[in-house]
Structure 1
Amino acid sequence: MARKKDPISQTRQILYGAAKLLGDVNAVRKGTIGKRIARRAAGKATGRLLGKLFK
């Protein structure tokens, strides 16, 4: 059975998603979307590496 999410958690998830989307829009307007994508990929790779390291 799936666990029901707390309303605060759902709200936080929506707000963070909206902030991420607004950041993408802002980067496109400034012309720095390439930097943003590269940083996001580097952050994901670092997170995975650290996750495996401290497992």
Structure 2
Amino acid sequence: MSINKIRSVLYKLAKISGDVNAVKKGKVGKRIARRAAGKTTGKLLGKLFK
């Protein structure tokens, strides 16, 4: 197993852990909004620095 696959698995586990934590605290909506904003920002920056 390569280091990149291990890294990928760890990031996915962290994402799931964050989702579970948001559900426990009742802040799912805020998390979804921030994730959507992050994706949009990433796409715009990707196009800008292409």
* Rg larger for: 1
TM-score by length of 2: 0.94
Give the ranges of 4+ consecutive aligned residues of structure 1 lying more than 2 Å apart after TM superposition. Answer: none
Structure-1-length-normalised TM-score = 0.86
Q: Which runs of 5+ in 2 are unaligned?
A: none
| Cα root mean square deviation, aligned | 1.0
Where in structure 1 are there 5+ consecutive unaligned residues? 1-5
Q: Percent identity?
A: 68
What is aligned with 1:52? Answer: 47
- Name whichever structure is richer in helix by fraction: 2
Provide the aligned length of Structure 1 versus Structure 2: 50
Deviation readout 1:6-43 (Å, 9 max, x if unpaired): 61111110011000000000000000010000000000
